[in-house]
Amino acid sequence: MVLMAIDHVRVYAGVPAGGPTFGVFFTRWVTHFCVPAFVFLAGTGAFLHGRRLGDTRALARYLVTRGAILVALELTYLRLAWTFNVDFGEYNIAGVIWMLGWCMILMAGLVRCSTKAIGIFGIVVMAAQQLMFAFGHIPDAREGPLGWLLRFLYFGGEVHVGGEGGPPIAILYVIIPWIGVMAAGYAFGSVMLREPAERRRFCLRVGLSATAAFLIIASIVAAKTASESDLPFVLAVLAQQKYPASQLFLMMTLGPTIALLPSLERARGWFADVLATFGRAPLFYYLLHIPAIHAAALVVSLVREGSVNPWLFGNHPLRPPPLPDGYMWSLPLLYLVFALVVAILYVPCKWFARMKAERRAPWLAYL
C-alpha cells in the first residue's frame, strides 16, 4: 500500500515510467510488486473470508457485490480524483480497482469449484496467457464486433460505451492474466491454514524457485536481445512487460513476494505496526491517497511556478497530455511529497482501522 504511492506521485511529478538512469528506473520498478501482491492476496483473502462465512453462496454474493462496488468507484470517484475534472465524455480509465472488481465478480463463479481446481485454473491462465495473441492475429478481430471483448480481456486500449461515439474507457488493466493470479492466490489460502513451519517451507520453496527461474530465463532473453535495447544489462533483465503482465513479470514480482511472506509474518515493532495499519484499511487508504497526492501536486506547482499548472487537471496515468517545459520534478522532491502524503494519511487510516475493528458493521467489510 505504501510503495504504490511512489508511482502515483510520479504520475503528477512528470517523471517517466522507467528510464535509462538507475534512479528513475527503480522509482518505477519497485512499485511493480504492488499490483501482483494486491491481486494474489485478494484471492487469499477471499478464501479465508469464505472459511469464516462457511457458505460458498454467501462468499459468491460478497465477491459480486464488492467487485461491482470497485468497478463503480473506478468509473466515478477515482476518475474524478485522478483528473480533478468532470469531462467524463472525453476520458475514463479502467485501472487496477476496475480490474480487481471484475476479477472478484469472476471469482464468484469459480468459488463453487474445488480449491485444487481453482489453483490449477490460475496457474494455467498465468502460464498460457499469450495464447490470447492467436485471437488478436485473426484479421480484423480487434476491430470486429467482439473487439471490445478482446481489449477487455487481454489487449487493453480504448473502448466506447454503447458503440462508436459513446464515452471512451481507456483499459489499462485487463482481466488476463490477473484472474489467474487471483485464482492462484485463492488456492494459496489453503497453504495459510498449515502449521507455521510447513507454511514457511512452502513459501520459501515456491518463492525462491520462481525467482531463480525468472533470473535465468530473463537473463537469457536479455542477452539475446542486448543489441535491441538501450538499457544496461541489469535493467534489461528487470524491464519486464506489465501491460498485460507477462509470465516473466509475474515470476519477477510474485516469486520474491511469496518468499518474503514468512519473514513479514514475523515482523514486529513500530514500523511493522504502521504498515499493518495501512493494511487494515486498504480500500479506505486507496480512496484517500489519489486525491491527496493530486492535491499535493497542486500545492507543489503553486510554490514552484506561482500558479497551478493546467496540466494537472488533464493528467492521468494512461494517456497524459504533453509535459510542459521545465515541469518535471527532481527525484528528491518526488520522494519528499510521497513521504509527507503517506505520513498524513496514517492518521485517518489508524482511526478507520480502529473503528472497523470495534464496530464490525457488515458494510465495513466492503472497505
* Per-residue pLDDT tens over the stretch 198-245: 999 999 999 999 999 999 999 999 999 988 888 899 999 999 999 999
CA angle 86, 67, 295 (to 5 degrees): 35
Give the global pTM.
Answer: 0.93
DSSP of 21-42 = SHHHHHHHHGGGGHHHHHHHHH
Predicted pLDDT at 81: 94
Give the pLDDT of the chain (367 residues) as one tens digit per residue.
Answer: 899 999 999 999 999 988 778 999 999 999 999 999 999 999 999 999 999 999 999 999 999 999 999 999 999 999 999 999 888 888 888 999 999 999 999 999 999 999 999 999 999 999 999 888 776 556 556 666 677 888 899 988 888 877 777 788 989 999 999 999 999 999 999 999 999 999 999 999 999 999 999 999 999 999 999 888 888 999 999 999 999 999 999 999 999 999 999 998 888 999 999 999 999 999 999 999 999 999 999 999 999 999 999 999 876 666 677 888 889 999 999 999 999 999 999 999 999 999 888 887 777 777 7
Burial degree of 49 (CB within 10 A; 0-12, 13-18, 19+) = middle
Angle of helix 247-265 relative to helix 115-128, nearest 10 degrees, comes to 140
Regarding beta strands 93-94 and 157-160, do their DSSP bridges make them parallel or antiparallel, or are they unpaired?
unpaired
Predicted pLDDT at 142: 64
Predicted pLDDT at 315: 63
244 preceded by cis ω (within 30°)?
A: yes
Predicted pLDDT at 135: 65
From CA 252, how far away is CA 270, in angstroms rounded?
Answer: 29
59, 50 contact by CB (below 8 A): yes
Predicted pLDDT at 317: 64
Beta bridge pairs of residue 168 = 160
The sign one gets for the Cα dihedral 342, 345, 347, 350 is negative
Cα–Cα nearest to 316, from 95, 2, 25, 35: 95
332, 322 contact by CB (below 8 A): no
Predicted pLDDT at 364: 76
Neighbours of 47 (CB within 10 A): 22
